Amino acid sequence: MSTEARVEGAGTDLLGAPPVWPASATVAPGGDLTIGGVSLSALADRFGTPVYVLDEQEVRDRARAWRRALPDAEVAYAAKAFLCRAVVDWIREEGLGLDVCSAGELELAVTHGFDADRIVLHGNAKSPEDLRAALRFGVGRIVIDSDCEIARLAAQVTGPKPQRVMVRVLPGIEAGAHKKIRTGAEGQKFGLSIAAGDAEDAVARTLGQPHLQLVGIHCHLGSQIATPEPYGAAVHRLIAFLARLRERYGVTLPELDIGGGFAVAYRPGDPAPTAAAYGQLISRQLTTSCAEFRYPTPRLTVEPGRSLLAPAGVALYRVLAVKRSGGQVFVAVDGGMSDNPRPALYGARYTVRLVGRPVSAPMRTTTVVGRHCEAGDVLAEDVELPEDVRPGDVLAVPASGAYHLSMASGYNLVGRPPVTAVREGRARLLVRRETFEDHRRRDVGL
């Protein structure tokens, strides 16, 4: 019998609960945990803490799952979840496109060999630098997000070929885990309203620009959408809108981008449908809606980001202090809101596991807090940790691959953690730790 065992929450259980840990996660002798065949406690010792670990094979497997779920669609990875050169390689090698929202993300990808024609640039307020970079590199699609962007973009197109564009619309659907990450409903900064007529006005103005080629419409409903049904509703409304545009302007737009926002599990029991479940409903609704409105099936694009990277990542911290106050236990670690702002921003909840030594003490409800001078610097509330947790212990936080380091800050001049990749028993450094020297070199005010 093997001395290793699967980690609870790594892979679906008998009730179909979604995975929290990468599929490769196993419990090793002595209480350690391995990911991709590599010991997490050994990684903490080798690279220091905090450190982020990405299971490369998990990313690749999830990319393949999305391609299988929607074989006729373009699957474009949402770079804002997390981007570095290794991730660019993985995404390109797995045949995905890329969705970016800044000149920085775009340049990192293109200068590392990613085909610009398979890149979509969007954003509610693109800077002149963003647009210049997109036109210079020749991105495949630019998503128009406001009326004022139409003429500004058209004026910058200097080549003989028009720039292919899409118009981001608001389908009037409220979906997502928190009001700060719901982007498909009325009354927020993204897109143009179908109901109010703003989207149709933008389409008409875009069609009047000879330097722009309108190829389709784009929407994004929000993030952490834990059921497929909102996507079905969006597809129906968007096909109806495309049919209306055909009637009024005589154009049959060939593309439809419904964005991302697909949920992942951060704690055991969190709802998170598989890529196949999302894909089945989206495909069925697309077929039904196109038949209803007699509209040719458009080329579909989806933009998963979190669902590829979050479950592949594990953050490792080292305990600095344990404090008992007011009947609560606080465990303070050497990271916090500077590398994971999601709990402070959205009230995000995580699970935590002690790794690297055997556990025999009873479990106790604990709050894991960060090192920063903010009462809101809480990484995980009401988690079960051994009663004898102590300084020097290593804590592992799964589902940490997305929207941690991509939103990290330099608060308190604490350097951002390194990123490592594991696969088949080997580990390598992808992004080095940010140091005090990095901060000092940027400070030129003497």
Domain residues of the chain, as ranges?
5-54+311-441, 70-304
The answer to whether 307 touches 70, Cβ cutoff 8 Å, is no
Close Cβ partners of 295 (under 8 Å, ≥ 6 residues apart): 239, 242, 243, 246, 252, 289
Residue 366 reports pLDDT greater than 80: yes
Q: Among 160, 139, 163, 137, which residue's Cα sits nearest to residue 150?
A: 163
pLDDT of residue 175: 53
Mean pLDDT in the chain?
92
Q: Rounded to 5 degrees, what are φ and ψ at 383? A: -105, 155
Distances (CA, A) of 6 to 10, 319, 325: 7, 25, 35
pLDDT band, very low/low/confident/very high, at 12 (cuts 50, 70, 90)? very low
3-state secondary structure of 300: strand
- In one letter, which amino acid is 84? C
Query: Which residues touch 174 (CB under 8 Å, ≥6 apart)?
Result: 182, 184, 185, 222
The Cα 82–Cα 203 span in angstroms is 32
Q: Which of 74-88, 173-187, 343-357 has the lowest mean pLDDT?
A: 173-187
What are the pLDDT digits (tens) for 339-358?
999 999 989 999 999 999 99
Query: What percent helix, strand, coil does the chain show, rounded to 5?
Result: 35, 25, 40
- Sole residue written with tokens 């570095």: 84
**Would you say residue 186 has pLDDT above 80?**
no
- Average pLDDT for 142-171: 94
The pair of structure tokens assigned to 10 is 């790594």
pLDDT at 18 over 70: no
Nearest to 125 by CA among 106, 153, 84: 153
Please report, as a single letter, which amino acid is at residue 232.
G
Cα(252)–Cα(298) distance, integer angstroms: 9
Spatial CA neighbour of 273 closest among 238, 229, 243, 232: 229
Quick one: what percent of the chain has pLDDT higher than 70?
A: 93
pLDDT at 5: 58
Beta bridge partners of 213: 164
**Residue 132 carries which DSSP code?**
H
pLDDT of residue 305: 97
- Domain 70-304 in the same topology as domain 5-54+311-441: no
Asked if the model's pLDDT at residue 7 lies above 90, the reply is no
**pLDDT one-digit tens code per residue, 293-325:** 999 999 999 999 999 999 999 999 999 999 998
5-54+311-441 carries CATH number 2.40.37.10: yes
> How do residues 414-428 score in pLDDT, each as one tens digit?
999 999 999 999 999
Segment 272-280 shows an average pLDDT of 95
* pLDDT at residue number 150: 96
Which residue in the list 84, 101, 290, 373 is annotated as catalytic? 373
Contacts of 188 (CB under 8 A, 6+ apart): 182
pLDDT-based confidence at residue 72 (cuts at 50, 70, 90): very high
The pLDDT, as a whole number, for residue 251 is 97
**Helix pair angle (229-249, 198-207), 10° resolution:** 50
Question: In the annotation, is 148 catalytic?
Answer: no
| CA nearest to 60, candidates 95, 25, 26, 33 | 95
With b meaning 16 or more CB within 10 Å and e meaning fewer, what string describes 91-126? bbebebbbbbbbbebbebbbeeebebebbbbbbeeb
Q: Nearest Cα to 310, choosing from 270, 283, 337?
A: 270
Is the per-residue pLDDT at 183 higher than 70? no
User: With 50 as the cut, is the pLDDT of residue 181 above it?
Assistant: no
- 147-156 and 198-207 helices, crossing angle to 10°: 20
Q: Rounded to an integer, what distance in angstroms lies between the CA atom of residue 205 and that of residue 56?
A: 44
What pLDDT, on the 0 to 100 scale, is given for residue 259? 95
This prediction's pTM: 0.93
Top CATH class of 70-304 equals alpha beta
pLDDT tens digits for range 103-140 = 999 999 999 999 999 999 999 899 999 999 999 999 99
Is residue 8 scored above 80 in pLDDT? no
* Residue range 206-230, pLDDT digits in tens: 999 999 999 999 999 988 999 999 9
Average pLDDT over residues 8-12: 54
Distances (CA, A) of 343 to 229, 349, 355, 370: 27, 7, 22, 11
Residue 16 has a pLDDT of 36
